[in-house]
Structure 1
Amino acid sequence: MKVFITGASGRLGSRIIPHLISRGHTVAGLVRSTEKAKKIEALGATALIGTTADQGLLRKGANENDAVIHCAMDHKDADLGSQMKGEREALDFFADVLEGSGKVLISANGTVAVQPGSDEHSQSAPIGPRAETEKAVLANAGFIPYVEGLNWSACNADDAALLFVLALETAEPGTIVHAVQEFPQLKAIAQVLGEKTKMDTKAITKEQAKDFGFFGILLQAHQDFSTSWTKKTFGWQPKGQLLLDEMKHADASFFKAV
């Protein structure tokens, strides 16, 4: 199968490419620069240089391939609303171009709006916005907040990338899968962030979390839902490094850069 990926040089896209190629697919990836083009070409993909705002490139990628995997999100704009708007516009454009073609469209999303105890089939619509938790946390000057007793959902990037490919190959139209490996406590995540950044951590209430804007929504979301259907249906068993282990072993400079 010929596959077009947006965000091809990113954390997820760059891991999807090797899985696709190892399973006999060919890949074209949308990247922003010549430097990033070289990165995905080294993985065996063909590069298209541009952004998701270039509808001509999006149309070319969709028309010349059998499937589209949309992983891109424009993080240059600090306003999350603008990021989400751009992502949604690109996704809607792909849907229009591919309508009636029988081609596959897969989009990355987040699990912040998944209700505790729910499963893959209880979701009637695409799930809430993606967010880079560490960046949002560190943007709150003074301390790293958390709400006691709540969990976050996490998955090793390489395991998540493999699930994209498994879904591409076998999922029915309209399928929602949960690429979740574990549910670490927010308190534990905050503590590791505090150790790495030399910042204090502080427990807050759900009511106080509302003062933190969009990140407050994340702080209030208790994530604990089923992934059993995803694992059983696709034979998917995540094996990669867990989030807290990865954070503990990451160089402190990473967190300072964030």
Structure 2
Amino acid sequence: MTTFLRRPRCNFAILNQSMHMQVFVTGASGFVGSAIVQQLLQQGHGVLGLARTAEAAEKLRQAGATAHEGDLNDLNRLKTGAAQCDAVIHTAFNHDFSRFKASCEEDRQVILALGEALAGSNRPLIVTSGIGLLHQDRLVTEADRPASAETTPRAASEEAVHNLVAQGGNAYILRLPPTVHDKGDHGFIPMVIQMARTHGVSAYIGEGSNRWPAVHRQDAAQMYRLILEQQPEQRVFHAVAEEGIPFRQIATAIGKGLQLPVTGKDEAGAEAHFGWFKHFAAIDCAASSAQSRATLGWTPQYPGLMADLVPGIYF
């Protein structure tokens, strides 16, 4: 079992005003990771970014970061990268939904390996999770925890973090909403747009009242940086700028952007329109970030999702 030294906590909010860190970032050339790298470099931190390809390595070098060649399957390379740095931000994940449970369990092993590399120190590890794991009949908060990985596979990542914290590790969870939006997004919103193009109609399920929280990727990146610099006692954070946008509103904006009709789908119609994505299109996970805002002093500054669903960004 990996063990950690518990060290007296200091006021990092004050200390890090003058302290620059070297940060190992996985997923550093990705949509969210690249924004984090930009934020860290702008604030004077150094970045060692995991690069799976030569193209990713070159992108990191052009941004002003250092590339660390390797991938999520090579745990030794991950540990080598983490061991060189003052902190780790983990955003990479294998989004092959045909083997989703396996990818989730692999992420658990990645997190435990990163934690092992940081063992014996108070160096922070920030791990990415998703708000979509939580389902309540109310706004979910940072205090809510998902069901076990047995029934909710993606919970494996959070379980790994709680395991590290229980052993004295300085680890954090940052939950992202179903949509992290901005130009260059290749996540859920582009998928929904492509389905509308394919079927000639922009659709929602039932009345479309299920809600998706949202955040601009630059605002999300700032939250990662604030956790890194402040290292508060709170362990779970929500990067949520908008608590819950009805899916019908999203579908309506997409219909307008594509000049297509908008309609609700029953169970069979939703299956035909969304296919494997139906589960995600039906998610209702309105979420609060009140505690995260209060702890970190985080205030979203960038446009909301509806403002981004315009020509030049998504169309």
> TM-score, structure 2 length as denominator?
0.69
Amino-acid identity (%): 31
> Which residue among 187, 190, 200 is the counterpart of 2:251?
190
- Farther-moved stretch of structure 1 (231-240 vs 112-121): 112-121
2:130·2:178 contact (CA, 8 Å) conserved in 1?
yes
Question: Which amino acid letter does the alignment assign opposite residue 162 of structure 1?
Answer: Q
1:69 Cα deviation from its structure 2 partner: 0.6
CA distance in 2, matches of 1:174, 1:94: 20
1:98 Cα deviation from its structure 2 partner: 2.7
> Which residue among 299, 303, 310 is the counterpart of 1:241?
303
Structure 1 residues 146 and 83 mapped into 2: Cα distance closer, same or farther (>3 Å)?
farther
1:79 is aligned to 2:79: no
Q: What secondary structure sits across from 1:239 in the alignment?
A: coil
1:203 Cα deviation from its structure 2 partner: 1.5
1:19 Cα deviation from its structure 2 partner: 1.7
CA distance in 1, matches of 2:262, 2:48: 43
Q: State which structure, 1 or 2, has the greater radius of gyration over its C-alpha atoms.
A: 2
| Aligned counterparts, 1:16-165, within 5 A | 16-75=36-95, 77=96, 79=98, 81=100, 82-114=102-134, 115=136, 116-123=138-145, 126=158, 132-134=187-189, 136-137=191-192, 138=194, 142=199, 143-147=201-205, 148-165=208-225
1:70 Cα deviation from its structure 2 partner: 0.7
Structure 1 residues 207 and 239 mapped into 2: Cα distance closer, same or farther (>3 Å)?
farther
1:164-214 deviation line (CA, Å, top 9, x unaligned): 010112234661111011132211212233344565543235797688676
Question: Which amino acid letter does the alignment assign opposite residue 189 of structure 2?
Answer: E
1:6·1:70 contact (CA, 8 Å) conserved in 2?
yes
CA distance in 1, matches of 2:46, 2:264: 48
Q: What secondary structure sits across from 1:93 in the alignment?
A: helix
CA distance in 2, matches of 1:139, 1:10: 23
2:178·2:213 contact (CA, 8 Å) conserved in 1?
no
1:225 is aligned to 2:283: no
1:158 Cα deviation from its structure 2 partner: 0.5
Q: When the two structures are aligned, how many residues end up with a matched partner?
A: 252
1:56 Cα deviation from its structure 2 partner: 2.4
1:15 Cα deviation from its structure 2 partner: 1.0
Question: Which amino acid letter does the alignment assign opposite residue 122 of structure 1?
Answer: D
Structure 1 residues 87 and 210 mapped into 2: Cα distance closer, same or farther (>3 Å)?
farther
Question: Which amino acid letter does the alignment assign opposite residue 188 of structure 2?
Answer: T
CA distance in 2, matches of 1:238, 1:99: 33
Question: Which amino acid letter does the alignment assign opposite residue 190 of structure 1?
Answer: A
Question: Which amino acid letter does the alignment assign opposite residue 237 of structure 1?
Answer: T
List alignment gaps of at least 5 residues for structure 2.
1-20, 147-154, 159-174, 180-186
1:2·1:65 contact (CA, 8 Å) conserved in 2?
yes
1:170 is aligned to 2:230: yes
List alignment gaps of at least 5 residues for structure 1.
none
Question: Which amino acid letter does the alignment assign opposite residue 145 of structure 1?
Answer: A
1:27 Cα deviation from its structure 2 partner: 0.8
CA distance in 2, matches of 1:37, 1:221: 35
Question: Which amino acid letter does the alignment assign opposite residue 104 of structure 2?
Answer: M
Structure 1 residues 129 and 231 mapped into 2: Cα distance closer, same or farther (>3 Å)?
closer
Residue 241 of structure 2 corresponds to: 181
Question: Which amino acid letter does the alignment assign opposite residue 253 of structure 2?
Answer: V
